[in-house]
Amino acid sequence: MDKNVQEKLFTGMIKFTPPLYKQRYQFIKDLVGKYKPKKVADLGCADCTLLWMLKFCSCIEVLAGLDICENVMKEKMHRLSPLPGDYLQPAERSLTVTLHHGSVAHKDPCMCGFDLITCIELIEHLEESELEKFPEVVFGFMAPTMVVITTPNSEFNPLLPGVTFFRHPDHKFEWNRAEFQSWALGIARCYDYSVEFTGVGPPPTGMEHVGFCTQIGVFVRKYSQTSESVHFEKPTKAAYKTVFKAVYPSLKDEKYLQNAVVSEVVFTAQVIKRSLLAHLKSEHEEYNDSPAEIKSKFQHSKNCVSEDPEKLAVERSMEPFVNGNVVYIPLTKIFSFPKVNQLCGTFDKLCKLITGKVTLSSDGSAVMVNTEHENEEEEN
Ligand code: SAM
């Protein structure tokens, strides 16, 4: 069939599922899943949707966005703030999210040292003078390990309903695959990167010759950043304005780690206490003891070998015991619980983090938990 006739048939029928912008974001998410970058920046981040999606990738510790339009960034930037749940259950990893107002035509040291920089549907919005500076700023100065650039493939345009010239009135150009690839290969050569081409939004059957709707270049830096091949001197002057910064609560921060450990120790101690008391109760019930007798026996559990809690602590074992109205739970027992163990790493760290925050026996070897409340419950 004649190519023009075929194009006419397809025009108006193209509908991407999921929508093309989601396919672009998914492409980045898959790449992040594969390469696990710690520091990721999105240039031309607009309303920060991609950044918001990326904040859920647990490998990422630093997320940054840059856009020339401050208002568009501010529209939904609240989505990048930590939620109450982030404070209630701080994550293992640290995460800082920062948004900058500025242009990709300017150098600012805050964009150096990234593992991945994404430029999704950005380059076609750049003025000629900005596009000229872009390679030197992104590949020469920012010099991340990986850069992903996406841009419309103009060869696909005849298949898009209503597109007669460019896909968007703000586009300064739209390239076909040869134009994009020649530009990208030139940059890769100049700045010592490799580049591979792919895309999202596949053409319909019979129209494969037009390529993907969105063309993508994935650049990987060939040299190590610590080597002398860092070509350009880094200015220290800031060119961007920081408009948003969120530091997420993390267990890497001693303050949050201490809270988490103390909560877990108190919870674990309660679990152990309940289980010990239930065990003692079932033993006494076998002998038909009255509630008052049970209470009295709780105060002298069979584990209790001495009246002196200090002495008891010295005679410490892994097992908890009751003395009077107090259950003594050896820290070694608590440390053997996987969650506590995982949080603290070492026994010394556990001791350090709970000292002064949890009631301990005078030699510091056991957590003391009162049984009084428990006994009252029994009597009621
Ligand atoms: N990357 C986003 C996405 O895929 O959803 C938004 C792309 S939007 C089509 C292009 C964005 O680039 C706009 O938010 C625009 O403000 C921004 N932009 C245009 N020129 C820029 C420049 N010189 N520096 C930084 N951002 C720029």
Residues with CB under 6 A from ligand 1: 21, 43-46, 49, 66-69, 72, 103-105, 120-122, 125-126, 130
Q: Give me the mean pLDDT over the 113-131 stretch.
A: 98
Token pair for residue 322?
């009751």
Residue nearest to atom 16 of ligand 1 (CA): 69
Contact (Cβ atoms closer than 8 angstroms) between residue 167 and residue 158: no
Please report, in angstroms and rounded to a whole number, the separation of the first and last CA atoms in the chain. Answer: 88
Tokens of 379: 């009597």
pLDDT tens digit sequence for 70-101: 999 999 999 999 999 999 999 999 999 999 99
Helix spans in the chain (H): 3-10, 20-35, 49-54, 70-75, 84-88, 128-135, 177-191, 254-286, 291-298, 309-314, 331-335, 338-344, 347-354, 372-379
Distance 49 CA to ligand 1 centre (A): 12
Bridging pattern class, strands 326-330 and 321-323: antiparallel
Which of 75, 125, 129, 131 to mutate for ligand 1's pocket (most ligand atoms within 8 Å of CB)? 125
Q: Which atom of ligand 1 is nearest to the CA of 168?
A: 9
Nearest atom (ligand 1) to Cα of 126: 20
Helices and strands (H, E) in the chain, number of each type: 14, 11
The Å distance, Cα 221 to ligand 1 centre, comes to 23
25 CA distance to ligand 1 middle (Å): 14
Q: Is the pLDDT of residue 12 over 70?
A: no
CA distance 335 to 200: 50
Say which residues have a Cβ less than 8 Å from residue 264's Cβ, sequence separation at least 6.
337, 339, 340, 343
> How many residues does this entry show for the chain?
380
Q: Whose CA is nearest to atom 24 of ligand 1?
A: 103
Tokens standing for 268?
A: 């674990």
pLDDT value, residue 302: 44
Interval between CA 195 and ligand 1 midpoint (Å): 22
| Closest residue to atom 21 of ligand 1, CA basis | 68
Beta strands 116-120; 96-101: pairing state: unpaired
Pick the residue whose CA is nearest to atom 7 on ligand 1: 121
> Is the pLDDT higher at 94 or at 309?
94
Whose C-alpha lies nearest to ligand 1, atom 19? Answer: 125
Cα of 170 vs its chain's centroid, Å: 33
Cβ neighbours of 85 (radius 10 Å): 8
Task: Name the residue of 47, 66, 67 to mutate for ligand 1: max ligand atoms within 8 A of Cβ.
Answer: 67
Ligand 1 centroid to Cα of residue 122, in Å, is 5
Q: Could you tell me the distance, in angstroms and rounded to a whole number, from the CA of residue 94 to the centre of ligand 1?
A: 27
- Alpha carbon distance 24, 16 (integer Å): 12
Q: How does residue 216 score in pLDDT terms, banded at 50, 70 and 90?
A: very high
Cα of 222 vs centre of ligand 1, distance in Å, is 27
pLDDT score at 146: 98
Instruction: Tell me which residue has its CA closest to atom 15 in ligand 1.
Output: 44
- What is the predicted pLDDT for the residue at 229? 47
Residues 6+ apart with CB under 8 A from 377: none
Q: Give 150-201 pLDDT, tens digit per residue.
A: 999 999 999 998 888 899 999 999 999 999 999 999 999 999 999 999 999 9
Alpha carbon nearest to ligand 1 atom 4, residue = 120
Peptide bond into 18 cis (omega under 30): yes
Retrieve residue 27's tokens: 């492409």
> Cβ(100)–Cβ(240) under 8 Å?
yes
CA distance 217 to 185: 9
List the one residue out of 304, 338, 340, 333 whose CA is nearest residue 321: 304
Q: Are the C-beta atoms of 260 and 343 separated by less than 8 Å?
A: yes
How, if at all, do strands 241-247 and 214-221 pair? Answer: unpaired
pLDDT-derived band at 378 (thresholds 50, 70, 90) equals: very low
CA dist 313 and 363 (Å) reads 7
CA-proximal residue: ligand 1, atom 6 (nearest): 46
- 139 token code pair: 């590949």
Taking the C-alpha atoms of residue 192 and residue 136, their distance in angstroms, rounded to an integer, is 12
In the reported structure, the alpha carbon of residue 201 is separated from the centroid of ligand 1 by a whole-number distance in angstroms of 20
269-289 average pLDDT score: 83
How far is Cα of residue 268 from the mean position of the Cα atoms in its chain?
Answer: 28
Ligand 1 center to 104 CA (angstroms): 9
Whole-number Å distance between alpha carbons of 112 and 198: 26
CA of 44 to the centre of ligand 1 (A): 3
* Mean pLDDT computed over 115-141: 98
Residue with tokens 């992903």: 148
